Structure 1
Amino acid sequence: MSSLPDLELVREGVSNSQSPLAQTLSILFEPSPILLVKLEPQLSTYLKSQSLSSPLSYSQLIDLALDEIKKWDISSQSEFISGHPRIGETKNLSNLSAAEQGATAVVNPTPPEVLARLKHLNACYEAEYPGLRYITFVNGRSRATIAEEMEDVLGIERSRSPDEPPLAEFTSKARGRGDEKWLSELRRAVEDVGKIAQSRLEKLQA
């Protein structure tokens, strides 16, 4: 499992793609281009403006990051949450994402039909909410349970079908970025990214 850089080095606010601050953000929030080119410089500027004698914890850093992200325009927020993998993905996952999603489970691996269902549900969600990715704080729940949660969000019946309802049904009712439900989903996703980051921190510090 990844380990966090020394907090004293993070607090110095050195800004570059390999800085302790950048490494910390990539571990807690998942690496993404916008994290490195936008969030990291913003937090670096803030940290440099603070006295090194001022208290700062990793948990406070997460809160500061979320405060900055919520000030961004919706396109930037959308790009940020897309740095997280889709629910049910099994390839190119960070060690932390794989553990959170249960991708490393040996005793009770996720059944193939659940993975196929999640792939379809992700496609349906992204068709109805263009520019968004379904993010949720898994918190130890199984992928099958998350599939049911996604079905509830989409307003569809429980199923294990890999192609029902048809994707076109969701494409036809795609929501614009000014739609209140679209914005609500964006806000929820940002909040859940924060919950995931805090949960990762707890595990790393345990």
Structure 2
Amino acid sequence: MSTINRLPPIGDVPSLPTSDRAAILDQLFEPSTQLHTLSVPLLHEETFQSYNDLISAVGAQLTDLSESASTSDTDWLRSILGSHPRLGAKKVESEQSQAEQAQLQGGGEEAEQLRKLNEEYEKAFPGLRYVVFVQGRGRDVIMADMARRIEGSDIKTEQSAAIRAMCEIAADRAAKLV
């Protein structure tokens, strides 16, 4: 798979090779074979006015999966949402996630607390990862939000929150990559 450091002009996307369209998705979201299968054809079939329009269209696809009664659609969606790294993880594959989570790195008691919150979240919401737009938010704010969501949410609400967060993250990435 090719990697890209800048996004091509939005008008060029439909004519790009499949590998380049997949690389765009990887840059905006996270590497995910399931997301490639779902959205690479969309990037070929549709013409978008902006990357925000492209991100909205992918978000609509994810929302359709979340609203489906099909177990396979639910599993597919959770696989895509699970492609995001755990917050504060030591090993993060994507360069974008590494940069975005830089302020969450650290050691000691807070790192252990974040690790435990990730475990609690994934136990409360099987198949999901806690996904949130972290840019400019401190570890304490994010951990408080995570704890609140563990206590007061359900899996459907969390799927919707994760889709919104993925699209917010993608929009921020697009703004930096164009």
TM-score, normalization by structure 1: 0.72
Asked if 1:92 is matched to 2:88, the reply is: no
Q: What is the match of residue 144 of structure 1?
A: 140
Alignment correspondent of 2:68: none
* The structure with more helix, counted as a fraction of residues: 2
Q: Which runs of 5+ in 2 are unaligned?
A: 66-72
**Would the aligned equivalents of 1:43 and 1:65 in 2 still touch at CA under 8 Å?**
no
Kindly report the root-mean-square deviation, in angstroms, between the aligned alpha carbons of the 2 structures.
Answer: 2.3
Deviation at 1:203, TM superposition (A): 2.3
Match of 1:12 among 12, 15, 30: 15
Alignment of 1:107-146 (within 5 A): 110-146=106-142
- Rounded Cα–Cα distance in structure 2 between residues aligned with 1:150 and 1:92: 19
Name the structure 1 match of 2:41.
41
- More contact order relative to length (CA 8 Å, sep ≥ 6): 2
Question: For the pair shown, which has the larger CA radius of gyration, 1 or 2?
Answer: 1
Q: Deviations over 1:118-154 (max 9, x none)?
A: 1111111111111111111113112232112212222
Name the counterpart of 2:69.
none
What corresponds to 1:165 in structure 2?
A: none
Q: TM-score, normalised by structure 2?
A: 0.83
Matches within 5 A, 1:1-206: 2-12=5-15, 14=17, 16=18, 18-19=19-20, 21-44=21-44, 46-47=45-46, 56-72=49-65, 73-102=73-102, 110-155=106-151, 181-205=154-178
The amino acid that maps onto 1:28 is L
Structure 1 residues 39 and 196, CA gap change in structure 2 (3 angstroms)? same
**Once the two structures are aligned, what percentage of the paired residues are identical?**
32
**Kept in 1: contact 2:118–2:130 (CA 8 A):** yes
* Offset, 1:13: 5.6
